[in-house]
């Protein structure tokens, strides 16, 4: 994990029914609870210690042990299946996702449209 960052969990700003989607990492830096927004990875934002977010299980944290908050993004396939990938591969990851989950997209056209616009460079 990146400089002094201890990954604890994540938050989905789009809501609990919006998957698959990038989610916001939540963790500790120098004892402070922070979130790391994709557009501002060098400046994690301190949040209230009582903030509500989803906590990773020990098993999930083991799988995410190489996550680097300054280099990687978290992708939630659903509320329990979270993976990470280098931010530099963002559009490639979403292109593959759009191509491999057609039945899902039929039930979630708004998310599909948002992702498609992103990979097409229209956002």
| E strand residue ranges, the chain | 5-11, 21-29, 32-35, 45-46, 54-55, 72-76, 82-86
**pTM of the predicted protein model:** 0.86
Extents of the domains making up the chain:
5-88
Element (H, E) at 118: helix 109-119
Contact between 20 and 87 under an 8 Å Cβ cutoff? The reply is no
Instruction: Determine the pLDDT at residue 16.
Output: 79
* Distance, CA of 89 to CA of 12 (rounded, Å): 20
**Tens place of pLDDT per residue across the chain (123 aa):** 446 899 999 999 888 777 888 999 999 999 999 999 987 877 899 999 999 999 999 999 999 999 999 999 999 988 899 999 999 999 999 899 888 877 778 888 888 888 889 889 886
Which residues does 3 contact at the CB level (< 8 Å), separation at least 6? 29, 70
Burial class (CB in 10 A: 0-12, 13-18, 19+), 44: buried
Instruction: Determine the pLDDT at residue 1.
Output: 42
pLDDT in tens, 87-106: 999 999 989 988 887 777 88
């Amino acid at each position: 994990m990146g400089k002094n960052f201890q990954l604890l969990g994540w938050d989905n700003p789009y809501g609990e029914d919006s998957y698959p989607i990038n989610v916001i990492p939540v963790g500790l830096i120098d004892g402070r609870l922070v979130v790391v927004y994709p557009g501002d990875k060098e400046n994690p934002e301190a949040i209230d210690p009582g903030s509500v977010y989803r906590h990773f299980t020990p098993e999930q944290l083991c799988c995410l042990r190489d996550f680097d908050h300054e280099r990687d993004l978290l992708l939630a396939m659903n509320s329990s299946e979270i993976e990470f990938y280098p931010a530099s591969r963002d559009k490639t990851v979403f292109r593959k996702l759009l191509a491999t989950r057609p039945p899902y997209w039929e039930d979630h056209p708004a998310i599909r449209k948002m992702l498609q616009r992103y990979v097409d460079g229209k956002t």
